[in-house]
Structure 1
Amino acid sequence: MEFEGTFTIDDVSTEEVWLALSDPVLIKQSLPGCQFLTRVEDPNDVDFEALRESAPDEDPATLPEADPEDISERAFEEGGHYAALMQISVGSVKPSFRTVVTIDEREFPAMNASGEGSATDSSFEMSSGMTLVEADEGVDIEWEAEADVFGKIAQMGQRVISPVANRVVSRFFGSVEDRLTEVAEEDDSEGLRDRVRNLL
């Protein structure tokens, strides 16, 4: 299955959107049903139960409260592997997918990733990419994804899966937009924005 679209965020810079979408903490908070998202060294040897138990009760600060330099230090790295546990409602089932994603390419303003996940009776493989394009009023996030789904969920068909995927994407980008809107509303928004631009 293939998905693609463009999500526009007004009154932001490409640098601000890039920093937000490079922050594993903000991504975890923005993805519906994501219980943790953490870097791992060996994608073939991930103890998801241990990662779930060791996940902090509270996440570190993100934009606009976090220091942009701190976000830059923990940002996704090209070639890095990241493990996540995600629960997604598909029809009448709520599988928890143990997922490992690899950042294949990351160079401003584009990032590509691939990964796979498995749950009871279901699994998937995916590749995705995004490019940030400066627009008249803000930034266009042009994104695409290709996914192969197997097992019980695959039997539900694209008619059931596509609306779920679109809902997840919409909620994800909506959450990112809300966070970036908070940046613009900060008392020292220009100072914060200058610091973000200077990181790139």
Structure 2
Amino acid sequence: MELKDEIFINAPKATVYAALNDPGILKECIPGCEELIQHSPTELEAKVVLKIGPVKAKFGGTVTLDTDGAPDAFSLAGEGQGGAAGFARGGADVTLTEQDGGTLLSYEAKAEIGGKIAQLGSRLIQGTAKKLSAKFFESFAEKVGAREEA
């Protein structure tokens, strides 16, 4: 499964990049996030509860950041286990570009799923993934933009 989108954030690139590395902001923005622990500047652990169609599961997982191109670009890779519901793993490439007094955040993500959730059908999963990523980025843009205005 692949996702690709972009969103304009009303804040400078440095502010957006800092927010993307702030576990407190990320926890507030990730749908269903119950816990987000930063073990190092490049390693995070999360507990997230998601409902995909009729399946509701608690996922525990890790995310590793590759910040070699920061603050203009970075990538992340993650893996999560949802017990009987299955697993998810994937990664994303994120690009930040200064534009019109703010920042354009673009991303391309790829994910692989298995287990019970994989049996739900790709249309349902793709639709849910798009909805969750849109919810995250809208919430993120709103929080970061509001902090910048304050």
Whether TM exceeds 0.5 here: the answer is yes
1:141 aligns with 2:105: yes
**Aligned: 1:125 with 2:124:** no
Match status 1:89 vs 2:51: yes
Local SS of the residue matching 1:95: strand
TM score, norm. by length of structure 2? 0.91
> Deviations for 1:134-181, whole angstroms, at most 9, x for unmatched residues?
122521101111111001101112100111111111111111122123
Aligned partners of 2:30 and 2:110: how far apart in 1? 18
Whether 2:138 is the aligned partner of 1:174: answer yes
Matched residues in 1 for 2:12 and 2:43: separation? 27
Once residues 38 and 20 of structure 2 are traced to their aligned partners in structure 1, the CA distance between those partners, rounded to angstroms, is 15
Query: For 1:5 and 1:147, how far apart are their aligned partners in 2?
Result: 15
| C-alpha distance in structure 2 between counterparts of 1:105 and 1:180, whole Å | 20
Equivalences, count: 148
Which amino acid is 1:127 matched to? Answer: G
Question: Is 1:103 the equivalent of 2:102?
Answer: no
Match of 1:171, SS?
A: helix
**CA spacing shift, 1:81–1:137, aligned 2, 3 Å:** closer
Q: AA paired with 1:150?
A: G
1:4 maps onto 2:4 in alignment: yes
Structure 2 Cα separation of the partners of residues 113 and 101 of structure 1: 7
The separation in 2 between residues aligned to 1:134 and 1:172, in whole angstroms, is 20
RMSD: 1.5
Matched AA of 1:13: P
- How far apart are the structure 2 equivalents of 1:177 and 1:115? 22
User: Residue 184 of structure 1: CA displacement?
Assistant: 3.5
Residue of structure 1 equivalent to 2:15? 16
Please list, as runs of the form range in 1=range in 2, the aligned pairs for 1:53-92 lying within 5 A after superposition.
77=41, 80-92=42-54
TM-score normalised to the size of structure 1?
0.69
Partners of 1:160 and 1:101 lie apart in 2 by 24
**Higher-strand-fraction structure:** 2
Structure 1: how far apart are the matches of 2:33 and 2:43? 16
Larger gyration radius, structure 1 or structure 2: 1
In structure 2, what residue type is equivalent to 1:5? Answer: D
Secondary structure of the structure 1 residue equivalent to 2:67: strand
1:20 & 1:147 partners in 2: Cα distance? 23
Partner of 1:33: 32
AA aligned opposite 2:114:
F
Structure 2 portions without partners, runs of 5+ = none
